[in-house]
Amino acid sequence: MRKFRSFFYILTASALLVMVTPASAELFWRTGKVQRVLSETSSFGGCMVQLSTIIGNGCPANGWVSMDCDGQYSDAANGKRAFATALVARSMDQFVSIRVDNTKKHDAYCVGKRLDF
């Protein structure tokens, strides 16, 4: 009986640990100032934005996010519009918030699905 009770406690504790372990979010927000922009014809989804903050959560920790200007994951016009908005924010030295999807990547860099300025 005592062995069963100990086994039950261990099993319950294990189940609770599994349930409360945070999962890596697919979509999450990062806010920062636009440090640099990159326009590329054959890599990185066509354009990228580097924020002043670390992206993390399965994305490279250097602040770069692809805006998907080549339209692999959504309409190319959406990515180009977000990239143009980042250029305006960069010229005005303002903060932006980017909704990042860590399940969609260009050359290991996560894709930004939305940019708020």
Question: How do residues 30-81 score in pLDDT, each as one tens digit?
Answer: 999 999 999 999 999 999 999 999 999 999 999 999 999 999 999 999 999 9
Residue 24 has a pLDDT of 59
**Beta carbons within 10 angstroms of residue 99's beta carbon:** 16
Q: Does domain 24-116 have CATH number 3.30.70.20?
A: no
> Residue 59 carries which side chain, given as an amino acid letter?
C
Contact 74, 113 (CB under 8 A): yes
Burial (0-12, 13-18, 19+ Cβ within 10 Å), 65? buried
Beta bridge pairs of residue 27: 101
Per-residue confidence band for 3, with pLDDT thresholds at 50, 70 and 90: low
Instruction: Specify the 3-state DSSP secondary structure of 45.
Output: helix
Confidence at 98, pLDDT banded by 50, 70, 90: very high
Nearest CA to 115 among 83, 92, 77?
83
